[in-house]
Chain A
Amino acid sequence: MATETRRRPWLKEPLLLGLLAFSVFDFPRLAALLSPLIGEGKPSVEWAPLPVLAGQHIGVVLLSSTASFLVAFSLGAASHLYGLKGLQELLLNVGSFGESFPTAAVIALAVPALGYGFEPLLLALFLYGLLPVLMNTIQGLTGLDRDVVQAAEGMGLTRVQRLLRVELPLAAPMILAGVRTAVIINIAAASIGSVVGAGGLGMPIVSGIRTFDPVLILKGTIPIALLALLADSLFRRAERRLDRRVRSATPA
């Protein structure tokens, strides 16, 4: 029997959002509040205000994750549609091989080709977001209840009808979980952008490391952590909602 999951009240997400806004728009006050724990910061030069850096950070993550999703989802769904088991294995192998490359290395390799700035970061994040989405799309579509898929086939749904009306809706929570992983990875990995001049919340972290200033490091780290928590929480909420709709019939 499906456990009766009550709808969770909207508590955590507004709280995280509030904290995020506080940490981004009024970091000095947050730092003052936390000063017993983290000590006083050193005076430092600001290249850009924190809200701008946060905006850059969020922007690049949104862009790269969307691109990863579109490409990886299409590849996963198409390879499933055409029953290309070999291609799926190849994709997953190439994907996990690529994932084992450090982000910094990818960026360093991309700079000569794409130049300094936003583009190499976007490329690196895009590549890193591919695997989780691809993996979950393929596994979500191949791991469906055989009876259900066979019922759809036996009723005379075409291959495309089966994909659109049965398989994708049922695999949706799993696919969404892949997107969540991609987004979370990208939120953290986007910090590296500061070293190639792409801005983002990595800027204060890198300066903080150079100047041994823990407050400056936290100025980047706290918003990144809150952003990751918020994204995670929102995605999980959406997954739960989909999952509730999709959960299998009671066993006969």
Chain B
Amino acid sequence: MIELGGVSKSYGAVPALDGIDVTFGTGQVCMLLGPSGCGKSTLLKLVNRLLRPDAGTIRVDGRDIGELEPETLRRGMGYAIQGVGLFPHMKVAENIGIVPGILGWPRARIRDRVAELLELVGLPADYAAKYPREMSGGEAQRVGVARALAADPAILLMDEPFGALDPVNRQRLQQEFMGIQRRLRKTVVFVTHDIGEAVRMADKLVLMGKGTILTEGPPLEIAGRAELVAKAFLGSGFVLELLEKYTVLDHRHLLVPAEGCPPGTGRVEARTATLKDALSAMLLAGRDCVEVDLDGVPYRLRFEDLTRAFAGNTL
């Protein structure tokens, strides 16, 4: 767990963060979202001690990071820097393997790890022998992500790690990342400008304004605070992204018995269909409800109940 208490930081006379209180829970993905220059990168750099706070304390698993050796602290945290920062004189394999090497992993294990990570981020195995200058920006960025994951750290600090990727690869990497996350349960602090990415990946969403935290919480909960949502430039897309985040099963408390479904109603599978799929089925069939199959038992989801999912935070 990472806890920031009353943390402030300014660059010279320019304040960048002002009294930040926030907690990033163990095993959770926390997405930091906010306009450019609001202090997201500064916050990450405070957590791995690239910067020291002017005021306040930062604790990792209960220990004040000011009391730890910076190198020890950092080797327990993968860090994907905004703007890639690959070492231009090292091949991809050396870039990815540098921290495992420092930690004393045997060569063969590092080689296997590099191959595994390249596959994970969707790069061909022979990219191991390339230099950063021989890759596109998006490819280099994926190597940056692989490098952050290399030594399997418990904490990941990711500063817009998918920013240079095309939408297809971006979604693919998001899914890969969530796949790893479900298995390994890392503590992730992830900066993004992409609302869809934030909503899809977040266990907890932290919305920042200029140097402050506007609001934080699970995405669905945040949707209930319409006023703040508008203030944080989330826009209407935010709620529609939420529809895609949850399956009908996640909201099975909204289901009602199937009796009374008019003929011609659409039908979805509760385990696989998202709320967006359910809404689409309603729109396609021109009905204000959809039939839901939950493990062979038929139910019904009504539009009026769906609206409750957002207004009332009933998850």
How far is the CB of A15 from the nearest CB of chain B, in Å?
A: 32
Task: Enumerate chain A residues within 8 angstroms of B131, measured Cβ to Cβ.
Answer: 245
* Top 3 A-B residue pairs of the complex, sorted by shortest distance between their CB atoms: A151-B85, A156-B74, A252-B137
B81 at the interface (CB under 8 A from A): yes
Q: Please tell me if the beta carbons of B132 and A147 are within 8 angstroms of each other in the complex.
A: no
B133 at the interface (CB under 8 A from A): yes
How far is the CB of B218 from the nearest CB of chain A, in Å?
A: 29
Q: Which residues of B contact A (CB under 8 A)?
A: 45, 48, 50, 70-75, 77, 79, 81, 83-89, 98-99, 102, 131-133, 135-138, 140-141, 147, 157, 163-164
Task: Enumerate chain A residues within 8 angstroms of B85, measured Cβ to Cβ.
Answer: 145, 147-148, 150-151
Q: How far is the CA of A165 from the CA of B209 in the complex (A)?
A: 38
Q: A158-B71, A248-B132 are in contact. List 12 more A-B contacts (CB 8 A).
A: A148-B87, A151-B84, A151-B85, A154-B74, A154-B79, A154-B157, A155-B75, A165-B98, A170-B88, A247-B88, A250-B133, A252-B164
On whether A246 and B86 interact (CB within 8 A), knowing A154-B48, A251-B137, the answer reads: no
How far is the CB of B77 from the nearest CB of chain A, in Å?
A: 8
Q: How far is the CA of A248 from the CA of B137 in the complex (A)?
A: 12
Q: How far is the CA of A156 from the CA of B148 in the complex (A)?
A: 11
Task: Enumerate chain B residues within 8 angstroms of A245, measured Cβ to Cβ.
Answer: 89, 131
Q: Please tell me if the beta carbons of A249 and B98 are within 8 angstroms of each other in the complex.
A: no
Contact with B along A151-178 (1 / 0, CB 8 A): 1111111100100011001100000000
On whether A152 and B50 interact (CB within 8 A), knowing A248-B133, A250-B140, A252-B140, the answer reads: no
Q: Which residue of B lies closest to A248 (CB)?
A: B88
A2 at the interface (CB under 8 A from B): yes
Q: Give 25 A-B contacts (CB < 8 Å), ordered by A residue.
A: A145-B85, A145-B88, A148-B85, A148-B86, A148-B88, A151-B87, A152-B87, A154-B50, A155-B74, A155-B75, A155-B98, A155-B99, A156-B73, A156-B74, A161-B102, A245-B131, A246-B88, A246-B89, A248-B88, A249-B84, A249-B86, A249-B140, A250-B136, A251-B137, A252-B141
On whether A247 and B87 interact (CB within 8 A), knowing A147-B81, A154-B48, A155-B79, the answer reads: no
Which one of A150, A153, A249, A250 has the greatest number of beta carbons of chain B within 10 Å? A249
Q: Which residues of A contact B (CB under 8 A)?
A: 2, 145, 147-148, 150-158, 161, 165-166, 169-170, 245-252
Partner of A151, one of B70, B75, B86, B133: B86
Task: Enumerate chain B residues within 8 angstroms of A166, measured Cβ to Cβ.
Answer: 87
Q: Please tell me if the beta carbons of B89 and A169 are within 8 angstroms of each other in the complex.
A: yes
Q: How far is the CA of A161 from the CA of B102 in the complex (A)?
A: 9
Partner of A156, one of B99, B135, B137, B163: B99
Q: How far is the CA of A180 from the CA of B125 in the complex (A)?
A: 40
Task: Enumerate chain A residues within 8 angstroms of B98, measured Cβ to Cβ.
Answer: 155, 157, 165
Q: Please tell me if the beta carbons of B140 and A156 are within 8 angstroms of each other in the complex.
A: no
Task: Enumerate chain B residues within 8 angstroms of A252, measured Cβ to Cβ.
Answer: 83-84, 137-138, 140-141, 163-164
How far is the CB of B36 from the nearest CB of chain A, in Å?
A: 16
Q: Please tell me if the beta carbons of B135 and A249 are within 8 angstroms of each other in the complex.
A: yes
Task: Enumerate chain B residues within 8 angstroms of A157, measured Cβ to Cβ.
Answer: 71, 98, 102
Q: Please tell me if the beta carbons of B135 and A250 are within 8 angstroms of each other in the complex.
A: yes
Q: How far is the CA of A152 from the CA of B70 in the complex (A)?
A: 12
Task: Enumerate chain A residues within 8 angstroms of B99, measured Cβ to Cβ.
Answer: 155-156
Task: Enumerate chain A residues within 8 angstroms of B88, measured Cβ to Cβ.
Answer: 145, 148, 170, 246-249
On whether A151 and B81 interact (CB within 8 A), knowing A247-B88, A248-B88, the answer reads: yes
How far is the CB of B58 from the nearest CB of chain A, in Å?
A: 15
Task: Enumerate chain A residues within 8 angstroms of B75, measured Cβ to Cβ.
Answer: 155-156
Q: Please tell me if the beta carbons of A153 and B50 are within 8 angstroms of each other in the complex.
A: yes
Q: How far is the CA of A154 from the CA of B138 in the complex (A)?
A: 21
How far is the CB of B128 from the nearest CB of chain A, in Å?
A: 16
Task: Enumerate chain B residues within 8 angstroms of A170, measured Cβ to Cβ.
Answer: 87-89
Q: Please tell me if the beta carbons of B102 and A151 are within 8 angstroms of each other in the complex.
A: no
